[in-house]
A and B are shown apart, each in its own frame.
Chain A
Amino acid sequence: MTLAGFCQWLQDTPWGTGIRESVWVFPIVEGTHVLALALSVGILVVIDLRLAGVLMRRQPVSQISNQLMPWSLAGFAIMFVTGALLFWSQAVKAYGSIFFRIKIALLILAGINALVFELTLRRTVADWDHDETPPFRARLAGVLGIVLWAGVIAAGRTMAYNL
């Protein structure tokens, strides 16, 4: 089965059709997807700004990160579940949308940025935890995170306009 064929099959499943055609389910799932932005990306931005040496510079990086990351991750869990349901109901439209493809590409880049940070800099955090201005690579990871997620949001929003 081709990818386009899979998308067609997916959105024709009872669940796909059900979400798409429901008066309430689609708006609720879509609304939750938008509001969970505050929890996921909104809180991540605060952590990333500390990493970039912009906010709460006197507070240890690990303290800010450890206390806020569980909330952000809970937000991302909601984003992925609601996002999957939205894709399920509109797979063909998403497949044909250049903005959806851009969104997925930026999501992957944001994931790689986070993974690289976790596997490298995170392990040395004790060395620079109290730095008001963290090392260049940590600041870069923070700024990249903000830019990539802003791109994901912009591409996701634009996708809905059928431009």
Chain B
Amino acid sequence: MQALLPFFQWCNDTAIGAAIRNSRVLFPIIETIHLLALTILLGTILVIDLRLMGAGLRRQSQPSVARALSPLTFWSIVTMLVTGFLLFASEAMKSYESPPFRVKMVTLALALLFHATVFCSAVKSETLGRLRSTATGIVSLALWFGVAVAGRAIGFY
């Protein structure tokens, strides 16, 4: 981690990071957008996962559910990454010291990797086996909710 310290310091020193840190309202506004995007991201992921697990929208085909919701998932991920980086830049040195922040970054990397590979190919398939489909839904839920739990914990610890 020591090797990353200059990067954290650089983020902390950016003009935008300092501007957010020194403003009374910018952080709450960005944080609120982050939270609204989280609602959409987890909501759409949850619906697709429920379909994968056979617990929701069973009368619709798997690919049709994924096709309808993927754009929302994608743009909420983009919004979360942008607002998340801004929040991070405003308190990068604090984040460096935070165990939940480290857990969140590792979980986020795993969630994005899983999403772009296993998840995205699974949801397009009409013929995925019951076991693989359920397992994909469970792993996806666990990873994304793990990111959210760790993210919430940053504010507490």
Contacts and interface: CB of A to CB of B under 8 A. Distances in A.
A4 B42 CA distance: 37
A150 B36 CA distance: 7
Given A41-B43, A43-B47, A67-B58, A55 B69 contact: yes
Contacts, number: 91
Given A31-B153, A42-B43, A157-B28, A67 B36 contact: no
B50 A56 contact: no
Interface stretch (B5-13, B103-111, B144-152): B144-152
Interface string A21-59: 000000100110011011101111110000000011011
Interface residue tally of chain B, by bracket? 20 to 34
Q: Name the prevailing secondary structure of the B interface residues.
A: helix
A45 B60 contact: no
Interface residues of A, number: 30
Contacts of A44: 43
Contacts of A46: 43-44, 47, 69
Contact of A163 (B25, B43, B47, B148): B25
A113 to B, nearest CB: 18
Nearest to B149: A31
Contacts of B50: 68, 71
B24 interface: yes
A69 B107 CA distance: 30
